[in-house]
Structure 1
Amino acid sequence: MLRIGTWWSARSIDVVACGWHDGGPGPVETGIKLIYGVGGPVPEFPGLRVGTRAATCAKEIAAALAQGADVVGTAPGCCPAAPVVAAGMWHYGWTRNDLGALAGATVAGLVLVAQPGPCAVEISRDGHGSLDGDVTAARACLAARFSGGRYRTPEVTVPLESVRLSQEAPSRILIRARRPQTS
């Protein structure tokens, strides 16, 4: 399982990807990676390896993480779901062929950034996820983001009708997406 959380700072939405090895194939390293939304230079993070350039999409974020960066800055305009998708690509080794996982992580990323205050989403190897929140508010957030019934990223296009959100517990949302088409 991969846990990805946000905290809100005065200047940006910051994402922390906490990964751990879950017995399957993929990176053996565990720990915390920071994906930091910036409009300028990345601040100093003593003792951490900082990526050399701002990433513009999930693939670039995942590549920087795979190359050993502890901190990756994202360029303005980067898809809000990209950090969650990138964390899955880095941790689980997803490729463009893992459409269901990419779609699930995209939806989870959009729901995550719409939550007020600190929040964490758990993403499984197949891209299904869950987080604390209200399913009605999550559906409203997604409906607003899915222009023409679809959400398009460089990795995947997710049709709104493929998204399944359910209230798993009083404050827990289960997130699923069926296999979509490629971008």
Structure 2
Amino acid sequence: MLRIGTWRSPASVDVIACGWHDDGPGPLGTGIKLIYDMSGPAPHLPGLKVGALVARSTEEIAELLVQGMDVVLTAPGGCPAAPVVAAGIWHYGWTRHDRGALAGATVAGLALAAQPGPCVVEIWRDGRSSLDGDVTAAAVRADLADRFAGGRYRTPEVTVPLESVRLSQVAPSRVRIALAAAI
């Protein structure tokens, strides 16, 4: 499972942290990757591999993660779902043929980006996800509707129709996100 969270406060850098826990065969794999929006100066993080390039797309973020960077710097103004989709590409090895997973991660990334405070999204291999924080299904639906121009959200990887997004409140602070059909 892949867990991705944000910290947002006036005194902090906007950062997405990708944590993962592999439960497959072989040795246990856990860790953290950081993805920073470079609207300000680059943070000094001694001991971590920081990408020299500023990533401008989902593919560039994923490529830097695949190359082993601990910290990826991103250009401001890109797709708000890009860090989440890129983390899924890196972690699960998704390709353009994994449309359902990419679409699910896109919706999860948009939902995560819309949250005003700290929040965490969990992504499974098939693109299903859950959003944890101060969230309700109704508020997440409203946030997503604002981003889906004409009822669709388009990325270079997928186009997601809003009517395919299924949200369910599974706990007071947890919303499950799924797609009704393959995209």
TM-score norm. by structure 2 comes to 0.91
Query: Aligned with 2:72: secondary structure?
Result: strand
1:39 Cα offset (Å): 2.6
Count of residues paired in the alignment? 178
Give CA deviations for 1:125-166 in whole Å, capped at 9, x if unaligned. Answer: 101000122111000000000001111112111111111111
Tell me, yes or no, if the aligned pair for 1:122 and 1:130 is still in contact at 8 Å: yes
Tell me, yes or no, if the aligned pair for 1:21 and 1:30 is still in contact at 8 Å: yes
Give CA deviations for 1:18-51 in whole Å, capped at 9, x if unaligned. Answer: 01223179xx853000000113552211110001
Tell me, yes or no, if the aligned pair for 1:57 and 1:154 is still in contact at 8 Å: no
TM-score norm. by structure 1 comes to 0.91
Mapping of 1:77-156 within 5 angstroms?
Answer: 77-132=77-132, 133-156=135-158
Identity of aligned residues (%): 65
1:116 Cα offset (Å): 2.4
Q: Partners in 1 of 2:22 and 2:57 — Cα distance?
A: 24
RMSD: 1.7
Tell me, yes or no, if the aligned pair for 2:15 and 2:36 is still in contact at 8 Å: yes
2:18 is aligned with 1:17: yes
Deviates more, 1:91-100 or 1:40-49: 40-49
Q: Partners in 1 of 2:156 and 2:40 — Cα distance?
A: 23
Query: Aligned with 2:144: secondary structure?
Result: helix
2:178 to 169, 176, 179: 176
Tell me, yes or no, if the aligned pair for 2:9 and 2:117 is still in contact at 8 Å: no
Residue 2 of structure 1 corresponds to 2
Residue 160 of structure 1 corresponds to 162
Change (3 A) 1:158 1:24: farther
Unaligned runs of 5+ residues in structure 1 are none
Change (3 A) 1:29 1:54: farther
Q: Partners in 2 of 1:68 and 1:6 — Cα distance?
A: 21
Unaligned runs of 5+ residues in structure 2 are none
